Amino acid sequence: MSLPRSLLVLGVSHHRTPLDVRELFSLSKEDVETLAQRLLALSCVQEVVLLNTCNRVEAYLASETEPDPEAVLGAISEVTRQPIELLRDLHYAHANSDMLVHLFSVASGLDSQMIGETEILGQVKESLTRARSHKWTGRIMSPIFERSFQAAKWARTHTGIGQGQVTIGNVVVDLVTRVFGDLVHPRILLVGSGEVAEKTAQSLASRGARDITVTGRSFDRAESLARTFNGAVLPFETFRTNLHLYDIIICSTAAPEPLLSSELVSEISQRRRFAPILLVDVAVPRDVDSTVGALKQVFLYNMDDLADIANENLRLRQQEVENCLAELKRRAWRTWLRSIRRTFGSKLARRQ
């Protein structure tokens, strides 16, 4: 591991940005590639890892000299087509050892919207893999990210942050129980066959849900997911006409515009003769128009709502979180010192 002259993370996340603004910064696959190229084109930047999830967009940079945050913000603003002033207000930046602490916290799930969740680790790993495959990263960032995976593993096995973990799936199960009483009778429709939808469906199925239907733009993927729950598949083109048949609708597509409008859901509600509908929108950008929540007998929950419920018991785990964060800071600092020591050692050897 050579000495990183300057490490910087810059991004926007759920901490300072509400969902309706956060979704403006969500990046498509192409956007991620464009942004990485733009950042690498900046004079000082040597390596880039981009972390793009529904709750955060972060650029991890390694450079010879301190990168200009304004230039990084400009690149993000250009790719996301959002005003730079908005980014200036909402962004955060951490440099050097603080960046390591931040990365370790993110990978461990301590910085997540649902504290202690494990999905983020997979997303961080995926970001590194993508950066490696495109050769956006090399000797500096890769070892640092590897250390963050070790730190996350340690946090999970040696602290209580994951104990009593409340996942999106568990929160949805609780909501279903409060609306319908059990999971056996309600009919469930998954719109989108992404990872979040799959995990939510797994939670529902493990608690007794029987009637699960999947629809998605990719019919094969939807069919494969439906098969795991012995469920049915609905063609994406026609799912809107059958919505009134479902009690619980879980949306998690990557559609840039809302799929379900207020008018459509109002019509469904009337066709269902005011039987309640539970709409769970875990997509960012959102799949369900926010005005749908105002309809009677329609209960709409988005990512922020679910996270708020999940973190309700955070107070009970606060001490555990603090202990974990303290240890992660120690590990980040050791990693930073080790990298400096090694670099000076190698430079000294070269001089001799």
Partner 1 sequence: MAVYVFATILGGVRLYQQKSDSRTFTYPAILLGFVVQSAGLYFRGMEIGACPLGNIFEVVQFALWSTIFLFLVIGPVFQVHLLGTTTAGLVAITGIISLLVPAWDTPHSEALFGGDPLIEFHAAVSIFSYGIFGLLSTVSILYLIQYNALERKWRSRLFNFLPSIVKLDDLARRLLSAGVLILTLAFISGILVWFDEAWNHMHWKLVTVFVLWLGYGAVWLMRLRQRFTPHRAAICFLSLYIFALFSLWPVNRAHEIKLEQNTAAPEVAPEFLHE
Number of residues that bind partner 1 (CB under 8 A): 20
Show the tokens assigned to 39: 């950042």
Strand order in the sheet with 92-95: 45-52, 56-63, 6-13, 92-95
Nearer to partner 1, 218 or 297 (CB): 297
Nearer to partner 1, 218 or 313 (CB): 313
Q: Give CA angle at 320 (319, 325), nearest 5°.
A: 100
**Of residues 160-199, those binding partner 1 (CB under 8 A):** 174-175, 177-181
**Of residues 309-348, those binding partner 1 (CB under 8 A):** 309, 312-313
Nearer to partner 1, 78 or 308 (CB): 308
Burial class (CB in 10 A: 0-12, 13-18, 19+), 165: middle
Phi and psi angles of residue 185, each rounded to the nearest 5 degrees, phi first: -85, -35
- Quick note: the x/- pattern for partner 1 over 83-122, rule CB under 8 A, is ----------------------------------------
Nearer to partner 1, 99 or 173 (CB): 173
Tell me the β-bridge partners of 300: 279
d(CA 120, CA 133): 20
Of 44, 54, 251, 324, which is the active-site residue? 54
Radius of gyration over every alpha carbon of the chain, rounded to an integer in angstroms: 22
Residue listed under structure tokens 């009637």? 211
Q: How far is the CB of 238 from partner 1 (least distance, A)?
A: 26
Is there a catalytic annotation at residue 54? yes
Sequence-distant contacts of 175-179: CB under 8 A, at least 24 apart: 175/278, 175/280, 175/299, 175/301, 175/309, 176/204, 176/209, 176/248, 176/278, 179/276, 179/278, 179/299
d(CA 3, CA 24): 36
- Quick note: the x/- pattern for partner 1 over 118-157, rule CB under 8 A, is ----------------------------------------
d(CA 245, CA 261): 17
**Site membership for partner 1, residue 267 (CB under 8 A):** no
Burial class (CB in 10 A: 0-12, 13-18, 19+), 207: middle
E strand or H helix at 49, and its extent? Answer: strand 45-52
d(CA 99, CA 107): 12
Q: How far is the CB of 272 from partner 1 (least distance, A)?
A: 9
Nearer to partner 1, 296 or 351 (CB): 296
Q: How far is the CB of 295 from partner 1 (least distance, A)?
A: 10
Peptide bond preceding 285: is omega within 30 degrees of 0, i.e. cis?
A: yes
Q: Which stretch binds partner 1 (CB under 8 A): 9-17, 90-98, 152-160, 271-279?
A: 271-279
Q: How far is the CB of 204 from partner 1 (least distance, A)?
A: 15
Nearer to partner 1, 175 or 204 (CB): 175
Strands 56-63 and 45-52 turn out to be antiparallel
Q: How far is the CB of 185 from partner 1 (least distance, A)?
A: 9
Q: How far is the CB of 276 from partner 1 (least distance, A)?
A: 6
Q: How far is the CB of 291 from partner 1 (least distance, A)?
A: 14
Nearer to partner 1, 7 or 280 (CB): 280
Residue listed under structure tokens 């430079």? 347
3-state SS, residue 322? helix
Half-sphere exposure of 304 (CA within 13 A, CB side): 16
- Quick note: the x/- pattern for partner 1 over 272-311, rule CB under 8 A, is -xx-x----------------x--xx-x-x---x--xx--
Residue 11 carries which side chain, given as an amino acid letter?
G
Instruction: Give me the active site residues, please.
Output: 54
Contact positions toward partner 1, by CB under 8 A? 174-175, 177-181, 273-274, 276, 293, 296-297, 299, 301, 305, 308-309, 312-313
